[in-house]
Amino acid sequence: MKLGEQIKKYRTELSLSQEELAEKLFVSRQSISNWENDKTYPDIKSLLLLSEVFSVSLDQLVKGDVEMMKNEINEQESVKFQKESAILAVFFIAMLILPIPLAKFLGWWGMGIYLIIVAVGMYYAIQVEKHKKQLNIQTYKEIVAFTEGRTLSEIEKARESGKRIYQKVFLAMGCAVLAAVVCAIMFWIFR
């Protein structure tokens, strides 16, 4: 149930008009109307006063909206994480493919362009890592579960946590090998 519906429900149960409730909370009648119509949310002081006036816990008053807000925040974070991950992937591919062609065709200017690409790629890599730490997702399994809106059980989290060290080492080695292979191919193509 939305907070506005909760406020209206409890207000009518106590047979209070919007004006009377506004007087008890030291706000305007318009504020009560806006809250009930979900145009705005009350601040924390008003929420505490509402729970006192209605004789209900704060949890009871806002429970439905808390769940809705959590879902909305998770969805927004997931979209932002996926967007930045996609941008990072594009820049990673560009960092693998472009150094030799840029150097061959544009010389020092090409290397300058390449350094800009690397800098932007590093920026997005840092952003993705910040999101992973903030959202407590590090391993592939955790990331997939997060993007699907699921969470891992405590046992699964412990298992994934133990794998992180090995995964990071293998990821670094795999990236180094991939970079060496791509550079060798590019060098052979553009010799």
- Using CB atoms within 10 A of its CB, is residue 95 exposed (0-12), middle (13-18) or buried (19+)? middle
CA–CA distance, 142 with 132 (Å, rounded to integer):
10
Confidence of residue 164 (pLDDT cuts 50, 70, 90): low
Q: Rounded mean pLDDT of 26-30?
A: 91
Q: Which of 31-35, 44-48, 110-114, 186-190 has the lowest mean pLDDT?
A: 186-190
Confidence of residue 41 (pLDDT cuts 50, 70, 90): confident
Residues 6+ apart with CB under 8 A from 52: none
Q: How many CB atoms lie within 10 A of CB 8?
A: 18
What is the percent of the chain with per-residue pLDDT over 70, rounded to a whole number?
81
**1 has a pLDDT exceeding 60:** no
Confidence of residue 178 (pLDDT cuts 50, 70, 90): confident
Identify the CA nearest to 122 among candidates 134, 133, 114.
Answer: 114
Confidence of residue 68 (pLDDT cuts 50, 70, 90): low
pLDDT tens-digit readout, 113-150:
999 999 999 999 899 888 877 776 666 666 677 667 77
At residue 96, the pLDDT reads 85
**155 has a pLDDT exceeding 60:** yes
* pTM to 2 decimal places: 0.49
CA–CA distance, 158 with 72 (Å, rounded to integer):
27
